[in-house]
A and B are shown apart, each in its own frame.
Chain A
Amino acid sequence: MNPEDRSKLMFVAAAFALLALYPLVGGEFGVDLATKIMIYAILALSLELLVGTTGLVCFGQAAFFGIGAYVAVLLSPQDQPASIAWLLPASVAAAGLYALAVGALSLRTKGVYFIMVTLAFAQMAYYVFHDTPVGGGTDGIYLYIKPVLGPLLELDGALTMYFVTLGALVLVFGLLAVLLRSRFGRALAGIRVNEQRMRATGFATYTYKLAAFTLSGALAGLAGFLFAVKDGYVNPEMMSWHLSGALLIMIILGGLGHLRGALIGAFAFALLQEFFKAEAIFGDFAKHWHLGLGLVIIVSVALLPRGLVGVPGQIRERLVGRASRRAETVEVGHGQA
């Protein structure tokens, strides 16, 4: 393993280790917040597969998240706990199925159209749950009894939920890291850089993109499942395009094209949100937290083209010169973790 890969691995390992230890110091609020952020990190990773790896800017990720969540609640029986063994796959499959349908249609379009079309399909899902009684309308629905895994696992406690989520995050991260260096992952990277060349070489690029889109939707559904079980409540706002927008900001803030960027971005964005919402700092003005957030978004997209992941490189560049930057941008087929 070359030094660059080793430092990336150590960074990620350290981050996960820190997360594993956090409950020792974090209070109830902190653990709950951290669980929520980790779920967003899984969502951000699912979007990174599409945007950063394949170059497909999807503005409708929240829909798959919401569907995973709603299915988890809708399929849970009222009077006894469901088994995670079938409920989790059902949520993931439902989200994946919707992603397959949306992808099959959307991938016929390109560029700006694709962005708008994915947004519109997410809105469609939003309205289905918002306007019809299917999901309890705007009030949402409650998950009264959380699912279990036989006698082994109950998801009632906050700490259990925390570690299950952390486990899921590590699994998803690992899965994507391996996937990105596989032939499939390299093909996606090639499609991002030059789809025309990939087609001229003989790759059926539509199929690859559709597979990535479906997988991404399925992973978002996994995040939705976790969210529904954590809070025991789902409502249509989970599918709002504000969440889709926030996810895009997370991965661009963290750094596109890097898995750890999704991780960093999710935490940075969520913490920024908490910062601007904090009445302790902003007093009354805290209710206008969107303003600070909006400005940060504008500034960070404008000034940090490579996201937070690229900051060490940007600093090094200023100090040392351009040579070190070239070394960082080389992909030797190891994928970018």
Chain B
Amino acid sequence: MDLASFLIQCLNSLQYGLLLFLVASGLTLIFGIMGVINLAHGSFYMIGAYMAYALAPIVGSAFGGGFFATLFVGLVLSVVLGYVLEWVFYSYLYEREHLQQVLMTYGLILVFEEIRSLLVGDDVHGVQPPDILTGTIALGDVMTYPVYRLFISGVCIALALGMYWVFSRTRMGMMIRAGASNREMVQSLGIDIQFLYRVVFAAGVAIAVLAGMVAAPVSSVYPGMGNSVLIICFVVVVIGGIGSIRGALLAALLIGFVDTLGKVLLPQAAGVLVYVLMALILLWKPDGLFKA
């Protein structure tokens, strides 16, 4: 493999890793802060991708908007979806055992898959990136790289920085962190923990949906995409350490590189490599790389 190809694969790894981080951070947050294992998290990613496909014509004819307008509408819808879901379903899971959470959210996956099937069908679709983001851009003299993929990485980085800022610099972030370590205390201080959880959950859903929407042009839109991303996200969270955003970032990038480069260098072993990596890391650190 020559230098240009290698660099391209590295950028691809980075982009995939960042996307994984985005989805995994929602998963680890929801578990770290609310103590809920949400198997349906991958479904939100799938919903995002299908939204990118299905909403585009609607947004186009109703508002005359393009890709970014669709993104915005999808974001708004996902926040509403997350808010309602937490209120109607997830808030009942906080007190339950992990096994029950696993099974109830598993049931939810099935429900989401079928609702999607009823609304949009089971076909595989492609989504076009917006015109200003198509094409390639030259990176130095060595190579050219698709603009859209850079856009994806950019969005992920922006969101990651946004999350960091909210958690460490805002009052809301502080309350969320406090609520994660001591729910009763926060409540007795007069802070509405229920509202807080709803906000966190809605944010987690929105991030996953956005990731799906943004990824749709490069990964295509197909029925099983939620499940595949979910399991990889589990591996990210296990390697990174449950509840740790730092860990999720490091683990996601690690997996991004191992998986992408693996597919190029050892195509037959590629699927297994990520799990071998997880096994090795667990041998060394059974609780993952970082604590929450």
Contacts and interface: CB of A to CB of B under 8 A. Distances in A.
A and B touch in the complex (CB under 8 A): yes
Interface of A: 51, 57, 59, 105-106, 108-109, 111-113, 115-117, 119-121, 123-124, 127-128, 130-133, 241, 245, 248-249, 252, 288, 290-291, 293-298, 301-302
Contact of B107 (A115, A132, A294): A294
B283 interface: yes
Given A124-B272, A291-B111, A252 B103 contact: yes
Contacts of A245: 102-103, 106
Interface in B96-110: 98-100, 102-104, 106-110
Contacts of B104: 297-298, 301-302
Contacts of A252: 99-100, 103
Contact of A109 (B102, B110, B286): B286
A57 B98 contact: yes
A49 to B, nearest CB: 15
B268 A113 contact: no
Contact of A301 (B100, B237, B275): B100
Given A57-B98, A112-B37, A115-B98, A294 B114 contact: yes
Interface in B189-230: 227
13 contacts: A111-B98, A120-B235, A120-B275, A132-B268, A245-B103, A245-B106, A288-B114, A290-B114, A291-B111, A293-B110, A294-B110, A298-B104, A302-B92
B99 A295 contact: no
Contacts of A105: 279, 282-283
Contacts of B288: 113
Contacts, number: 120
A106 B271 CA distance: 20
Contacts of B107: 293-298, 301
From A124, A241, A248, A249, name the one whose CB has the most chain B CB atoms within 10 angstroms: A124
B238 to A, nearest CB: 5
A294 B279 contact: no
B261 interface: no
Contacts of B118: 288, 291
A307 to B, nearest CB: 12
Given A113-B242, A288-B114, A288-B118, A294 B278 contact: no
**SS of A interface (majority):** helix
Nearest to A295: B111
Interface residues of B, number: 41
A121 B234 CA distance: 11
Contacts of B283: 105, 108
Contacts of B109: 294
A12 to B, nearest CB: 25
B100 A130 contact: no
Given A109-B287, A113-B288, A120 B278 contact: yes
Contacts of B234: 116, 119-120
A252 to B, nearest CB: 6
B270 interface: yes
Nearest to A291: B114
B272 A115 contact: no
Q: Which 4 A-B pairs have the closest CB atoms?
A: A294-B110, A127-B271, A297-B107, A124-B275
A57 B287 contact: no
Interface in B249-275: 268-272, 275
A117 B99 contact: no
B231 interface: yes
A241 B103 CA distance: 12
Interface string B232-244: 0011011000100
B287 A248 contact: no
A288 B118 CA distance: 8
A241 B275 CA distance: 15
Contacts of A111: 98
Contacts of A124: 272, 275-276, 279
Contact of B238 (A120, A131, A297): A120
Nearest to B271: A127
A135 to B, nearest CB: 13
Nearest to B118: A288
A112 B98 contact: yes
Contact of B282 (A109, A115, A119): A109
Contacts of B133: none
B275 A121 contact: yes
Contacts of A290: 110-111, 113-114
A18 B92 CA distance: 40
B40 to A, nearest CB: 10
Contact of A117 (B106, B110, B117, B282): B282
Given A113-B288, A249-B103, A294 B108 contact: yes
A279 B110 CA distance: 19
A297 B107 CA distance: 6
B31 interface: yes
A121 B275 CA distance: 7
Contacts of B117: 288
B166 interface: no
